[in-house]
Amino acid sequence: MKMAGKILLLLLVSLGLAMSVHADIYKYIDKYGRVTLTDKPKSDQYKRLIKTWKGWEEQKNRIALQDFYKNQKKYTATINYYASHHQLPKALLHAVIAAESAYDPEAISRTGAVGLMQLMPGTAKRYGVHNRRDPKDNINGGTRYLKDLLAMFDNNLPLALAAYNSGENAVKEYGNKIPPYNETRNYVKKVIEYYKKFQTTI
């Protein structure tokens, strides 16, 4: 990236100019090396930026379908083990992982969530997860968190999933209802769809 681009990106990140808190940021570099940053990309040549512990980086393309099934097979024994160990339906745990990371242990969200179950630093610390990139550590911590959320919301699955996505405090603030966030509502719907599918295939 040219120096001007770096300066522009630093200004954008530090000041949040013309960007809402939840807006995605996209970068485009033209043939002259000029950098454009926007929250309204005009084509697929714009690359989405995500915040990681290394700084702002381009988001990887969504995991290929063959990798989805390859990783699903690779981690099924581990997922099933922790589902049984923590007394949760294995199809549910698979559904959450499919929706969260598409079974990619290297997945990183724009908010800094990491791994198969997309654990944030605070959640990882809360459940004693020392390495969020380690599949076993990540699944163990995420499964314990999911189980606690189900207990917290009286086994109301949509509320527990909403809390997993947006945080239990957000669900409580909206009177124990799914928060009116499109991302959260779509997430709950997506997990439940996976759950129904995996009940007959996993």
- Provide the pLDDT confidence category of residue 79 given band limits of 50, 70 and 90: very high
pLDDT for 56: 64
Q: Which of 57, 58, 100, 168 is catalytic?
A: 100
183 is catalytic: no
80-98 mean pLDDT: 98
Q: Which of the residue ranges 3-17, 58-72, 131-145 would you say has the lowest mean pLDDT?
A: 3-17
CA 139 and chain centroid, separation: 14
Instruction: Confirm whether pTM is higher than 0.85.
Output: no
Q: Which fold has domain 65-201?
A: Lysozyme (1.10.530)
Over the stretch 26-63, which tens digit does the pLDDT of each residue have? 777 877 788 888 877 777 677 777 655 455 666 554 54
Give start-end residues of each CATH 1.10.530.10 domain in the chain.
65-201
